[in-house]
């Protein structure tokens, strides 16, 4: 499975981007949230990818953050939700807002997403409410540093996957950023956040 692609952008549109990796062009389907963050043509980009294999095709779906990729994978596990619809869902609502709507069973908010009807919205809540709460916590809890930048959100996701509660992870990331202004990479910020958690 291709889980990550890094290379030069040679074509981009709101639906997909072609990335030149050592002379091979990979077409990666993307949500609008990723499209808006893409650099200019001929510049380099790094995307987290999910490989979808069908009998007649292999497709790549790409995301700027690991968090979006994880939510995408949760969505396609829901009955009746394929990769294309999952991508469209993430194009119609920010990942944090989607997680919050599912966690709080906000059917009306989910139905407002293009392509989502009442039955699909109900299935999302029934099948993902607990999982989405575990992945993201509920918006409004903790310090909210997840909204600051993609790196903070990725570190948050990693901490939650390690078993830390959402508000606890938020506070650790915020403190790590305040005490170490040089935490400029995912690895450093994660390490500093874990140090905060280790010291209570």
CATH code of 47's domain: 2.40.50.140
108-165 pLDDT per residue, tens: 999 988 888 889 999 999 999 888 766 654 443 444 444 445 677 777 777 777 777 7
Q: Average pLDDT over the chain, rounded to whole?
A: 84
Residues 55 and 98 placed together within one structural domain of the fold:
no
Residues 71 and 56 placed together within one structural domain of the fold:
no
Residues 70 and 126 placed together within one structural domain of the fold:
yes
Residues 15 and 57 placed together within one structural domain of the fold:
yes
Residues 71 and 122 placed together within one structural domain of the fold:
yes
CATH code of 95's domain: 1.10.150.20
The pLDDT value given to residue 185: 77
Which of these ranges, 45-59, 96-110, 140-154, 186-200, has the smallest mean pLDDT? 140-154
Residues 88 and 103 placed together within one structural domain of the fold:
yes
Residues 57 and 73 placed together within one structural domain of the fold:
no
Out of 136, 169, 190, a domain closes at 136
Residues 12 and 58 placed together within one structural domain of the fold:
yes
Residues 76 and 104 placed together within one structural domain of the fold:
yes
DSSP conformation class of 1: -
**pTM for the complete prediction?**
0.66
Q: What is the band of 86 on the pLDDT scale with cuts at 50, 70, 90?
A: very high
More confident residue, 134 or 77: 77
Which of these ranges, 44-58, 108-122, 183-197, has the smallest mean pLDDT? 183-197
Range of the domain at 159: 145-198
On the 0-12 / 13-18 / 19+ scale of CB atoms within 10 A, 71 is: buried
Alpha-carbon distance of 192 to 197, in angstroms, equals 9
| Contact predicate 135/70, CB 8 Å | yes
The pLDDT value given to residue 181: 66
The pLDDT value given to residue 135: 60
User: How many domains is the chain built from?
Assistant: 3
């Amino acid at each position: 499975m291709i889980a990550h692609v890094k290379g030069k952008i040679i074509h981009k549109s709101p639906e997909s981007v072609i990335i030149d990796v050592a002379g091979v062009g990979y077409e990666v389907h993307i949500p609008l949230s990723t499209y808006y963050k893409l650099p200019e043509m001929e510049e380099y980009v790094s995307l987290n990818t999910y490989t979808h294999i069908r009998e007649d095709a292999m497709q790549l779906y790409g995301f700027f953050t690991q968090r979006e990729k994880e939510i995408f994978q949760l969505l396609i596990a829901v009955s009746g939700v394929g990769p294309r619809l999952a991508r469209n869902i993430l194009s119609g609502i920010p990942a944090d807002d989607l997680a919050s709507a599912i966690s709080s069973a906000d059917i009306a908010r989910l139905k407002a997403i293009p392509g989502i009807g009442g039955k699909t919205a109900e299935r999302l809540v029934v099948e993902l409410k607990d999982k989405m709460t575990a992945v993201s916590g509920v918006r409004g809890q903790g310090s909210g540093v997840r909204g600051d930048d993609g790196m903070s959100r990725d570190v948050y996701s990693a901490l939650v996957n390690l078993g830390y509660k959402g508000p606890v992870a938020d506070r650790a990331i915020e403190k790590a950023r305040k005490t170490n202004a040089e935490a400029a990479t995912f690895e450093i910020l994660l390490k500093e956040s874990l140090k905060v958690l280790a010291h209570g």
